[in-house]
Amino acid sequence: MGAARLPARPLPRELPERCGHRAPPQPTSRGRPRRPRVRALQGRAPSLLLPQRHVRGHELRQAVHEPGLPGAGLDQAHLPAARPRAVELGYNFLFTDCDMVWFRNPFRHFPVYADMSCSSDDFKPSRAPLDNPLNTGLYYMKSTNRTIQMMKYWRAARERFPGQHDQAVFVNIRHELVSKLQVKIEPLETVYFGGFCEYHDDPEKVCTIHACCCIGLDIKVHDLKDVAADWKNYTSLTPEQRQKGGFNFQVDVPDQVSRFHGVA
């Protein structure tokens, strides 16, 4: 007896209008299909990272365009619309500020059970998740019914806190998101996602360092260049030299800034 054929169905997370129009994977020079890569939309800040196989720039611009917003690009006016629209379309996404240095792939360190994984300025595992000072300069969000409602709630809450930026609004409503919408929010450990508020001299684990607790663009750029130079020096060491330890990121955060953010 021949094997029964299952009816063709849309793949999970696939847009309905694209079903049946998937382009076959392009072979490489060795004859093997290319692996889908994660691409960044160039020339915009902050960066919105989405799977290349799911989205193209013109499709995302069309998806996030809403009446009343000027233009049709991922500029600062469109970012508030892009993030809710992305989760509505079924995309998980990683959102970051641009004042950040990346060292390695961060995705393996996002909790699988969390709807939203958010960086923290001062992480302590003994605290309740929402008691850690959350920083939306980096967060990973999964597309679920809860996060769809969360993004709508977050955006609508801006009217209650006029003049405050997205992070301040999020901090003010974080308990409401959990109690009313049952959203699972988890802080990220600073050993993997550090910042100038709190970081660890552990180059074998660090994924990103964020120039938070640092005021002024010129100062941020200067200090991030120092971090990148330290990383370059570390990666030039032999395995034997690395095992000796003693590595330190040469970043000095002013005492007054640390006290302002409550960092010891």
- Domains in the chain, CATH or no CATH each: 40-91 (no CATH), 94-236 (3.90.550.10)
* Nearest residue to 124 (alpha-carbon basis) of 247, 262, 251, 227: 262
What's the pLDDT score for residue 102?
92
Burial of 264 (0-12, 13-18, 19+ CB in 10 A): exposed
Whether this model's pTM surpasses 0.85 = no
Q: Please report how many Cα atoms fall inside a 13 Å half-sphere around the Cα of residue 257, on the Cβ side.
A: 15
Condensed to tens digits (0 to 9), the pLDDT of residues 37-67 reads: 444 433 333 333 443 333 333 343 444 444 3
What's the pLDDT score for residue 24?
54
- SS3 of residue 122 by DSSP: coil
Per-residue pLDDT of the chain (264 residues; tens, 9 = 90+): 444 444 444 444 433 443 444 455 555 555 555 544 444 433 333 333 443 333 333 343 444 444 333 333 344 444 556 777 888 889 999 999 989 999 999 999 999 999 999 999 999 999 999 999 999 999 999 999 999 999 999 999 999 999 998 899 999 999 999 999 999 999 999 999 999 898 888 888 999 999 988 888 888 998 899 899 888 888 888 888 888 877 888 776 554 344 334 433
Instruction: Say if strands 100-102 and 193-195 run parallel, antiparallel, or are unpaired.
Output: unpaired
What's the pLDDT score for residue 240?
86
Instruction: Say if strands 116-120 and 185-187 run parallel, antiparallel, or are unpaired.
Output: parallel
Condensed to tens digits (0 to 9), the pLDDT of residues 60-91 reads: 344 444 433 333 334 444 455 677 788 888 99
- Strands (DSSP E) found in the chain: 38-40, 47-51, 93-96, 100-102, 116-120, 134-141, 185-187, 193-195, 208-210
Cα–Cα–Cα angle for 170, 40, 251, rounded to 5 degrees: 65
Q: In this structure, are residues 191 and 235 in contact, taking their beta carbons and an 8 Å threshold?
A: no
- Residue reference for tokens 């919105």: 48
What's the pLDDT score for residue 16?
41
What's the pLDDT score for residue 149?
95
- Helix 145-156 and helix 79-88: axis angle, to 10°? 160
What's the pLDDT score for residue 241?
84
* Main-chain phi, psi angles of 54, to 5 degrees: -105, -20
